Amino acid sequence: VLVLVIDQLLPHQLDPRLPGGLGRLAREGRVFADAAHAHADTETCPGHAVILTGLHPGRVGIPVNDWTDHETLQSRYCVGDAGPDAAVLGAPPDRPGEPPSGRSPRSMRATALGDWLQAARPGARVFTVSGKDRSAIMLGGRRPAGAYWLDPRGALGFTTSRYYRAALPEWIAAWHGADPFAGWLAALPERWEHPTGAPPNGARPDDSPGEVSREGRTSGHPLRDTDVRVVMRRLLVTPWLDTLTLDFARTLIREERLGVGPAPDLLGLSLSGTDYIGHFYGPGSQEARDALLRLDADLARFLDALDAQVGPGRVVVALTSDHGVLDLSEWLVATGTSACPLEGGRVDARVLKRELEAALERRFGAVPAGEKPWAIDSGYAITVNRRLAAARGVPLAEIAEAARSFLATQPGVARVWTADEIARGAGPEPFATLYRRSYDPERSGDLVLQPIETCLVSEYPEGTSHGSPYLYDRAVPLVLAGSGIEPGVVRGRAAPVDLAPTLADLLGIPVPTGLDGQILPLR
Ligand SMILES: [Zn+2]
């Protein structure tokens, strides 16, 4: 079973007219054309958490990528782990005061398809691979045979943590080679050249306002450099990230002899390049279009290699994404498709945070140097500083209410949800249900900010993002293909949270009771 997640893929990008692997899945698979994530906080970690657990993010304990710990007030990364048994292989020791660089799935409060499969079918093996640690770890569940991701800091390449293994297998060292520039990075071009012609291909002009300028806004984005850290930084926003991830995964399939044993094996593969490219240039950019065509071609070769090893008819492929994305604000405004009342369509999250902190200091008093603010703002979530509240004798609810009433009047804000409302399921639908599914009482904020539809809340002045409860951030492709699955297009409700129970049922292993996902009809 191959579960393929393409980070930030929109439904229309799974186009049956594409000549390669994406097109093949769209033509030969069972396409759930109205599929969308069923939770509000549409980020990568929760998006991946639901796919193979069959549970909404709140119940997995992964409400967002990074949350504020209610007691320590420190930021917690969804797969961060300070334990010595979670150190990333090959990484230098952590420096004091920095967030832990260790990685594990210990924040997950749930098991996943891989755990169910290994328990039900002795000999079954589960591996995951991704450009991002959080994606590989979420898809793996508690105990995969291996979970590998690309370490973004430098020359480590694909690695894992001690949680999974004490040492990397030899084939991984061989894949990388002794010198990265003579080994795994040898095939990278000097620059990313791509077509620049405006429509008819449906894309925007190559040089469009609002695109991130860091690596240039037009074809010829630099890639090679003598410093591997520079190459890694650039690689993430080019199609070669996914090319390399697929090559690594193809080598894993061969070296670990996946799909040829007595029991089914599971490979969770998440491709991250589409997400970085979408954030930088927008989903309608020439860059996104070129990346999609290259991915389509790479996937054709990958699926052929998989068929060749495992045998045609013995592979089931499920493809989906962890979230969608909003197109570039500047493009939405220019084409008259923005509903955001703000000029430019952007809400500057840094300004909002500063003004909230100032308003609460005016009301409750100045915050001593070195102390966190009255309310800690991390993206859409706001967590009241319990330590300060206790020291000053101010009730938590009073601080939360002051923050809520301040934020609710700010431009670009549709509604500010309190944790109590979310837990009770109160408030307007469909949002009340979507926010409740994202809610974890220990990890969610005391308040959650809902932006106005098509307003981009971001701390960056360029690029675009996702994370809202609107359909552009929730709608994703969902397709299953392979033996026992009738091709066709199916309309109506379907969600990535349905994949785990659907695949468990297809594999003939017990489907845990109490899941949020439903078994999708495959014929
Ligand atoms: Zn993502």
pLDDT tens, per residue, the chain with 523 residues: 999 999 999 999 999 999 999 999 999 999 999 999 999 999 999 999 999 999 999 999 999 999 999 999 999 999 999 998 999 999 888 888 888 899 999 999 999 999 999 999 999 999 999 999 999 999 999 999 999 999 988 778 999 999 999 999 999 999 999 999 999 999 999 999 999 876 555 568 999 999 999 999 999 999 999 999 999 999 999 999 999 999 999 999 999 999 999 999 999 999 999 999 999 999 999 999 999 999 999 999 999 999 999 998 899 999 999 999 999 999 999 999 999 999 899 999 999 999 999 999 999 999 999 999 999 998 899 999 999 999 999 999 999 999 999 999 999 999 999 999 999 999 999 999 999 999 999 999 999 999 999 999 999 999 999 999 999 999 999 999 998 899 999 999 999 999 999 999 999 999 999 999 999 999 9
- The alpha carbon of 24 and the centre of ligand 1 are apart by a number of angstroms equal to 23
- The alpha carbon of 389 and the centre of ligand 1 are apart by a number of angstroms equal to 35
- The alpha carbon of 50 and the centre of ligand 1 are apart by a number of angstroms equal to 13
Pairing state of beta strands 158-159 and 146-150?
A: antiparallel
- The alpha carbon of 241 and the centre of ligand 1 are apart by a number of angstroms equal to 14
Q: Which two tokens stand for residue 192?
A: 């990313």
DSSP state of 161: B
- The alpha carbon of 243 and the centre of ligand 1 are apart by a number of angstroms equal to 18
DSSP-assigned letters across all residues of 394-424: --HHHHHHHHHHHHHTSTTEEEEEEHHHHHH
**Residue 299: predicted pLDDT:** 98
- The alpha carbon of 218 and the centre of ligand 1 are apart by a number of angstroms equal to 24
What does the CA dihedral 356, 358, 359, 361 come to, rounded to 10 degrees?
120
What does the alpha-carbon distance between residue 16 and residue 19 come to, in Å, rounded to a whole number?
A: 8
Helical ranges in 91-239 per DSSP H = 113-120, 133-140, 170-176, 228-235
H or E element, residue 20:
none
**Residue 203: predicted pLDDT:** 64
- Cβ neighbours for 401, distance < 8 A, ≥ 6 positions apart: none
Tell me if 266 sits within 8 A of 117, measured CB to CB.
Answer: yes
- The alpha carbon of 7 and the centre of ligand 1 are apart by a number of angstroms equal to 5
What does the CA dihedral 327, 412, 216, 378 come to, rounded to 10 degrees?
-110
- The alpha carbon of 397 and the centre of ligand 1 are apart by a number of angstroms equal to 33
- The alpha carbon of 207 and the centre of ligand 1 are apart by a number of angstroms equal to 24
CB burial readout 32-44, b (16+ within 10 A) else e: bbebbbbbbbbbb
Examine residue 430 and say whether the peptide bond preceding it is cis (omega within 30 degrees of 0). Answer: yes
- The alpha carbon of 418 and the centre of ligand 1 are apart by a number of angstroms equal to 26
Strands (E), 447-517: 447-451, 456-458, 478-482, 488-490
- The alpha carbon of 191 and the centre of ligand 1 are apart by a number of angstroms equal to 25
Phi, psi of 90 (to 5 degrees): 90, -10
- The alpha carbon of 44 and the centre of ligand 1 are apart by a number of angstroms equal to 4
- The alpha carbon of 444 and the centre of ligand 1 are apart by a number of angstroms equal to 19
What does the alpha-carbon distance between residue 11 and residue 475 come to, in Å, rounded to a whole number?
A: 7
Tell me if 347 sits within 8 A of 291, measured CB to CB.
Answer: no
- The alpha carbon of 467 and the centre of ligand 1 are apart by a number of angstroms equal to 9
**Residue 199: predicted pLDDT:** 57
- The alpha carbon of 313 and the centre of ligand 1 are apart by a number of angstroms equal to 30
- The alpha carbon of 120 and the centre of ligand 1 are apart by a number of angstroms equal to 30
Residues comprising the chain, all counted: 523
- The alpha carbon of 39 and the centre of ligand 1 are apart by a number of angstroms equal to 14
Burial group, residue 313, by CB count within 10 angstroms (0-12, 13-18, 19+): exposed
**Residue 379: predicted pLDDT:** 83
- The alpha carbon of 319 and the centre of ligand 1 are apart by a number of angstroms equal to 14
- The alpha carbon of 47 and the centre of ligand 1 are apart by a number of angstroms equal to 7
Q: Which two tokens stand for residue 210?
A: 């609002």
CA count, 13 A, side-chain hemisphere, 475: 13
What does the alpha-carbon distance between residue 44 and residue 465 come to, in Å, rounded to a whole number?
A: 11
- The alpha carbon of 165 and the centre of ligand 1 are apart by a number of angstroms equal to 26
- The alpha carbon of 49 and the centre of ligand 1 are apart by a number of angstroms equal to 11
Q: Which two tokens stand for residue 324?
A: 């969608």
- The alpha carbon of 29 and the centre of ligand 1 are apart by a number of angstroms equal to 23
Q: Which two tokens stand for residue 417?
A: 């949800």
Q: Which two tokens stand for residue 475?
A: 């709608």
Pairing state of beta strands 266-271 and 126-130?
A: parallel
- The alpha carbon of 324 and the centre of ligand 1 are apart by a number of angstroms equal to 8
- The alpha carbon of 118 and the centre of ligand 1 are apart by a number of angstroms equal to 27
- The alpha carbon of 104 and the centre of ligand 1 are apart by a number of angstroms equal to 18
* 513-519: long-range contacts, CB 8 A cutoff, minimum separation 24: 515/53, 515/54, 515/55, 516/38, 516/50, 516/54, 516/55, 516/56, 516/59, 516/437, 517/50, 517/54, 517/55
What are the distances in angstroms from CA 488 to CA 16, 375, 480, 523? 11, 50, 10, 9
CA 176 to chain centre: 25
Three-state helix/strand/coil letters over 320-344: ECCCCCCCCHHHHHHCCCCCCCCHH
What is the torsional sign of CA 497, 499, 502, 508?
negative
- The alpha carbon of 471 and the centre of ligand 1 are apart by a number of angstroms equal to 15
- The alpha carbon of 42 and the centre of ligand 1 are apart by a number of angstroms equal to 8
Q: Which two tokens stand for residue 518?
A: 């439903």
- The alpha carbon of 260 and the centre of ligand 1 are apart by a number of angstroms equal to 31
- The alpha carbon of 163 and the centre of ligand 1 are apart by a number of angstroms equal to 23
- The alpha carbon of 23 and the centre of ligand 1 are apart by a number of angstroms equal to 22
Q: Which two tokens stand for residue 469?
A: 């409860």
**Residue 493: predicted pLDDT:** 97
- The alpha carbon of 452 and the centre of ligand 1 are apart by a number of angstroms equal to 21
- The alpha carbon of 307 and the centre of ligand 1 are apart by a number of angstroms equal to 28
- The alpha carbon of 398 and the centre of ligand 1 are apart by a number of angstroms equal to 35
- The alpha carbon of 366 and the centre of ligand 1 are apart by a number of angstroms equal to 38
